[in-house]
Structure 1
């Protein structure tokens, strides 16, 4: 009996645990064998390149996906953080063919990551590139992703949205608020950040215990105290 080999190319994904990287992972799995989740954790809360993810949540997401998580800290200084990203990718360059990203429309991020991939001889794959905000949310809701907001950085989104799973009713509220206050509901402009507590590839949904913290009237985030 002939042994059937896995013909998929190996890949690693730049992973924050948010809606875009999780949806990109969901789509990329159809084409590639995803072997690594690559995460940069910036010390700077307002990094130009990277969201500041929650380590305890990332570890549980990795466990539920059954995919190894590789983490590197960065000062989050503009342009210098790219050196940290390149260093992280170099750790697995001989074990992977493709770098997957969850970017939608940020040329600033996309072009810089693409340049690193080209330098290291790796393919760059962005399955969500040029997705509209509506298409992003349609995919997430149709495939029963459980997405919460973890940070708000703009006028118009009530802090009560933090930690709540975005269902179709909540999305409609966000849509109305976005039209009124002129923010993108995919948050590509940094208006908010998200985390995924449930998706088709998870072994089980994640439960988080958190407190809401605020810096000013428009800047709020959750402090995740426990993950189950």
Structure 2
């Protein structure tokens, strides 16, 4: 399936793209929603839907992947915040609709890669947009165990750094700019102490991907500054603003090698088995033949829509 990836620059949208490719899909374009450049404090937009911190580096992200990038300015607000979304003029969801409508027209895509893990608010709205455009949402991370996901992202060579903190126990001076690998033990500790979502699904932190197996080049941060958004005594909100960046050639060949593909496909089997109740289907997916062949690339591709877990 020809797929466009909805990206924020973070780890989740990146890892979901890797899952799409392992499932046999082709990423042909990237799509991103950004704040208006002339907006005060435009790096951190008050949005229920979109990560905007790090948006200045998205052009380099697309260049690192050698893929066309489609961007649209977020003009709307969070108008309809109910559990069920209906088309609403002036809502930020309509910006997503217009963006994906353009991508579909230009790139003839059939599916959209979405890195959502836990937010029903996002799920409902992405499903609404995709249904209106007759697009298949592909959300391989949906409702996965977050500790497992974080571990998989690190082992899959996703080099992402923390670019925003907003939780008890996360210190702007200590933790901004740290890699996932460096932060994993501490995030697990915070999860046990305070119930912090290990993958940041409660808004505790955000990331930006500097390198991964999908990148032909890696992103280097030459300089950045810390911006304090809210100086709360216990849980300050702060983010990194990138000032200078550049792309650098990678020493190793750009590809998802066969070993990594097998690992990702095995994850597919575990993921599907956790959301399917038909024991005959579970047994088939869990079989050695299925886990070592083409897996879910054809018959079970649609299992990974958000609706698989409803």
TM > 0.5 fold call: yes
Tell me the residue number matched to 2:120. Answer: 107
Tell me the residue number matched to 1:37. Answer: 30
Per the alignment, do residues 53 and 25 of structure 1 end up closer, same or farther by CA in structure 2, a change over 3 Å counting? farther
> In the alignment, is the contact (CA less than 8 A) between 2:70 and 2:103 conserved in 1?
no
Gaps in structure 2 of 5+ consecutive residues: 36-41, 81-90, 247-310
> Partner of 2:69: helix, strand, or coil?
strand
Alignment of 1:1-228 (within 5 A): 9-30=1-22, 31-42=24-35, 43=42, 45-75=45-75, 77-78=77-78, 79=80, 80-94=91-105, 95-159=108-172, 160-167=174-181, 169-208=182-221, 209-214=223-228, 215-217=230-232, 218-228=236-246
Gaps in structure 1 of 5+ consecutive residues: 1-8
Count of equivalent residues: 219
Structure 1 or 2: larger strand share? Answer: 1
4+ aligned runs moved over 3 Å, structure 1: none
> In the alignment, is the contact (CA less than 8 A) between 1:149 and 1:163 conserved in 2?
yes
Is the radius of gyration larger for structure 1 or structure 2?
2
Question: 2: distance between equivalents of 1:70 and 1:52?
Answer: 15
TM-score, normalised via structure 2 length: 0.68
Q: Deviations over 1:141-200 (max 9, x none)?
A: 111111111111121112111011121x53111211222222111111111111011101
TM-score, normalised via structure 1 length: 0.91
Q: Deviations over 1:30-70 (max 9, x none)?
A: 32111111111135622000011434311111111111111
